[in-house]
Structure 1
Amino acid sequence: MASDRFRPVFHPAGHDDELRTAVQDLRTGRWLSTRDLLARTPDWTLWTQRTQVLATVAAGTDAVQAWLAEEPRSSAAAVMHTRVLVERAVRAHRENHPRTEELWQGAWEACHVAARRAPDDPVPWVCLLALSRLDNDQRMEEHRLPPPGPMLFPGPWALLAEADKRDPYNREAYHRMLQFVYARRADASLSEAVNFVQWASSSAPQGSALHVLPLFVRVERYRKENGHEKALDLHWVTPDATRDAMRALGLWFDHTAVARASLLDLNHLAHALWGALRFIDGARVFEALGPYYATAPWSCRTRDPGDAARVEEVFLRARGRCLSAARDRRDGD
């Protein structure tokens, strides 16, 4: 009966308690906890993850601008200012805002300023990758460079290489590259995306979040094919789909600290294992998620992705099925 009362929590900070405090302060316009948190962030991987979450909140406030005005020599403030400008430009592009070009130009310039201020930081280069999707026609030369391997596409490969040089296999950098693929050519984006994630994950070490990338592409294919409308859905139980889910489990989940893992990655893995009918394996991921969840990819299973109650219902059904299978296994033992 306890599972019937369970209600998942959506929070961008997930398991990162320190980040949750900083997010709450930013929402009220206070930036000191953000500065202090970033000052004690131990590595580029966590730095990238935290600055991304903080920027999504700070984009609706003047908190980071106030921080930069108060501490103009702070490289952390400059990077966060860049994050905020990029977030605003991407939102403007998504909403077809008339100031998109202006915001894009300002964000692009801020990226280069931040790259000079913080030459070892991968985030300015990740931000430039985020902006590359705004260049729909690949007018900028840096967005149509020759690929590093066969079956890949012209794109911002030098930007990815700069991020990689500073933080190898940076999760966000590769996700930004995947978003560029989707924005580049609607007619061939899925095949190009498949080739890209296979290329990216093939060289990634154990514990790298890049092993989860194929699961994101699988969700996008399902969404575009309106998979939820099919009476018999075999999309998730094919040998290829099961292999992708089990590779992500064995090569990423089994070698990563859950407290540092992306909620999106955990949700995509839980969803893929449930879809592949690997319920006991899925239970391990649901247990690691604890009280937290993300609406993606569960929203792809509904006719209305904006129906929060329906999306939560899908998540709870999957969670309940997997945890029940795990309990039955333990009871049988």
Structure 2
Amino acid sequence: MSPMGFRPAYHPAGHDSDLRAALQDLRVGRWMSMRNLLAATADRALWTQRTQVLAAAAAGTDLVQAWRAEEPRSVAAAVMHGRVAVERALRAHREGHRHTQDLWHQAWEACRTAARAAEDDPVPWVCLLALARLDERQQWDEHRVAPPEPMLPPGPWGLLAQADKRDPYNREAYHRMLQFLYGRHGSGRLTEAVNFVHWAASFAPTGSALHVLPLYLHVERYRRDGGRDTALDLHWVAEDATREARRALYEWFDHTCYTESSLLDLSHLAHGLWGALQFREAGRVFRALGPYYTPVPWVYRVGDPRDTAAAADLFAQARARALAALEGTRGS
């Protein structure tokens, strides 16, 4: 049992109760709640987040296909069709499925169709960015465009620009670009990713989730170095790691609505502050997380990335330590 009996919960909807209800309906084979939720979602950041979570849940079903059959002119259904097609292609790629190539091309066509139907929507372009990582040799012209800065490599910069044009600093778009860069030179080099993260965070406005990007990079570096090593634990208290965790707190967390924020961003920030021994500051983020957590990045601190139970225990221990420091500050 976790400290003081607390057991964190993982749910892809997090604090978004409307999204949770739509997901529940998807699980029992109903798509109308998804349709109605998306019709009521005007904010671009929330739209991007909700379509991503819904697509992950719908990818193993034919519910989006049923929606499109019922409402063939629905723009939202076209966007979700692209989302689901991309999710299926990425899953096939991870599993080494023999039909990955076909699913990739089908997803690309679905995204292009969605982009024409929803001209102002960033999601089709975000989806095309997600597919770019499947082109590991960068054989497609749109995946080797000249970069906006000399320190950055060629890549799908035109796709990122299209997403950025429709929703400046779109969180998922920049994460998809980072994932593309992770895969450019196998598992060793992170120089290009480092340059990209610092470039993106340098012009991100106050309140942008891009200020959290450096914390993802620290986790990736730790993961690649093997994790769970006493010497490696010094990584988290290094000056740059501490500085970037605090910057994310002050430039993003202090200016955002946590109930609409990505659980992954909150979890990475709580982890970064806790690892940097900034316990009082971490306590504020743990409080915002409430009962929720994400296995990543905590699983990389327990040795076995499949051991989500140990990750939940570590999260609970870190949370108890941070909240105690926060309460001690308030009581003094």
TM class, shorter-chain normalised?
over 0.9
Q: Deviations over 1:219-272 (max 9, x none)?
A: 000011113123562100011000000010000000000111000000000000
Q: Is the 8 A contact 1:227 1:235 kept in 2?
A: no
Partner of 2:241: 241
- CA-atom RMSD in angstroms: 1.3
Q: Within 1, Cα distance between the matches of 2:232 and 2:179?
A: 29
Q: Within 1, Cα distance between the matches of 2:239 and 2:290?
A: 29
Q: Within 2, Cα distance between the matches of 1:207 and 1:311?
A: 29
Q: Is the 8 A contact 1:27 1:61 kept in 2?
A: no
Q: Within 2, Cα distance between the matches of 1:236 and 1:34?
A: 40
After TM superposition, the structure 1 = structure 2 runs for residues 78-157 of structure 1, keeping only pairs within 5 Å, are 78-157=78-157
Secondary structure, counterpart of 2:24 in structure 1: helix
Q: Within 2, Cα distance between the matches of 1:230 and 1:224?
A: 15
Secondary structure, counterpart of 2:234 in structure 1: coil
Q: Within 2, Cα distance between the matches of 1:118 and 1:198?
A: 31
Q: RCO higher in 1 or 2 (8 Å CA, sep ≥ 6)?
A: 2
Q: TM-score, normalised by structure 1?
A: 0.97
Partner of 1:322: 322
Partner of 1:30: 30
Partner of 1:193: 193
Q: Is the 8 A contact 1:201 1:210 kept in 2?
A: yes
Segments of 5+ residues of structure 1 without an aligned counterpart are: none
The range that moved more, 188-197 or 131-140, is 188-197
Partner of 1:305: 305
Q: Is the 8 A contact 2:201 2:213 kept in 1?
A: yes
Q: Is the 8 A contact 1:169 1:208 kept in 2?
A: yes
After TM superposition, the structure 1 = structure 2 runs for residues 1-333 of structure 1, keeping only pairs within 5 Å, are 4-186=4-186, 189-231=189-231, 233-331=233-331, 333=332
Q: Deviations over 1:110-153 (max 9, x none)?
A: 01100011100000000000000000100101101111002101
- Give the length in aligned residue pairs: 332
Deviation at 1:44, TM superposition (A): 1.1
Q: Which amino acid aligns with 1:84?
A: V
Q: Is the 8 A contact 1:181 1:189 kept in 2?
A: no
Q: Which amino acid aligns with 1:66?
A: A
Q: Which amino acid aligns with 2:256?
A: T
Q: Which amino acid aligns with 1:169?
A: Y
Q: Within 2, Cα distance between the matches of 1:75 and 1:219?
A: 37
Distance 1:141 1:188, change over 3 A: farther
Q: Within 1, Cα distance between the matches of 2:151 and 2:71?
A: 47
Deviation at 1:2, TM superposition (A): 11
Distance 1:98 1:316, change over 3 A: same
Q: Is the 8 A contact 1:48 1:172 kept in 2?
A: yes
The range that moved more, 52-61 or 220-229, is 220-229
Identity %: 66
Q: Deviations over 1:180-236 (max 9, x none)?
A: 001111266411111001000100101000000000000000011113123562100
Q: Is the 8 A contact 1:169 1:210 kept in 2?
A: yes
Deviation at 1:3, TM superposition (A): 5.6
Deviation at 1:42, TM superposition (A): 1.8
Q: Which amino acid aligns with 1:264?
A: L
Deviation at 1:313, TM superposition (A): 1.1
Q: Is the 8 A contact 2:2 2:316 kept in 1?
A: no
The range that moved more, 185-194 or 64-73, is 185-194
Q: Within 2, Cα distance between the matches of 1:185 and 1:232?
A: 23
Q: Is the 8 A contact 2:115 2:124 kept in 1?
A: yes
Q: Within 2, Cα distance between the matches of 1:133 and 1:195?
A: 18
Q: Within 1, Cα distance between the matches of 2:69 and 2:234?
A: 55
The range that moved more, 228-237 or 27-36, is 228-237
Deviation at 1:5, TM superposition (A): 1.6
Segments of 5+ residues of structure 2 without an aligned counterpart are: none
